[in-house]
Amino acid sequence: MPVVVPMLLWDESFINAVIANIFRFVYGLHCGFLVNSVAHMHGLRPYDKVIDPRESRFVTYFSLGEGYHNFHHTPYDKVIDPRESRFVTYFSLGEGYHNFHHTFPYDSNASEYDWRYNMNIPGFLLDILEKLNLVHDRKYAPKSYVQKKKDMASCNEQNNMESISKNYLDTLVGT
């Protein structure tokens, strides 16, 4: 079906439609792999410093929100390493906030931040579906609890020079 659509709607040749779909498929796989590799190595851990998933804007922008990777792992999950990384956020269209995502697994958003202020495409899509009454009973981490977790984790990696050298990808990409 994905090959037929460009042929019918845009009058593409069969070979162009196949090549475009191969690139689409490969890009999707690479975004998924990027989230679960880079976001566990590069980035900040503002919510839980014990687990390894990190926040990454680089992943977030290329994977539609999955970069908030520290948000969905519970405190007992000490084996993983999610981080927050702008590098991962950009390439994954919103998936770079891995640390938040692993720390608060029950939150329906991929990030602490609303889609209006930060790249959080899953949150945007869920808001639209909620307005259409297709999504019900969304769960959110209480803001007071999120702040408490941030305060507990706050040797504040963002102010740490060692963090800047380790997170060179985020430093290059910028805020």
**pLDDT tens sequence across 50-74:** 666 666 655 555 555 444 444 444 4
Neighbours of 121 (CB within 10 A): 19
Q: In residues, how long is the chain? A: 175
In this prediction, residue 105 carries a pLDDT of 79
Q: Label residue 128 by pLDDT band (50, 70, 90).
A: very high
Q: Is the pTM of this model over 0.75?
A: no
**What is the share, in percent, of the chain residues with pLDDT greater than 70?**
47
**pLDDT tens sequence across 79-98:** 455 555 665 655 555 566 66
Predicted confidence (pLDDT) at residue 163 exceeds the cutoff of 50: no
Predicted confidence (pLDDT) at residue 150 exceeds the cutoff of 50: yes
Whether the CB-CB separation of 67 and 56 falls below 8 Å is answered with yes
Backbone dihedral angles phi then psi of residue 97, each to the nearest 5 degrees: -95, 65
Neighbours of 53 (CB within 10 A): 35
In this prediction, residue 159 carries a pLDDT of 44
The stretches of 39-167 forming alpha helices (DSSP H) are 57-60, 86-91, 98-103, 121-131, 143-152, 161-166
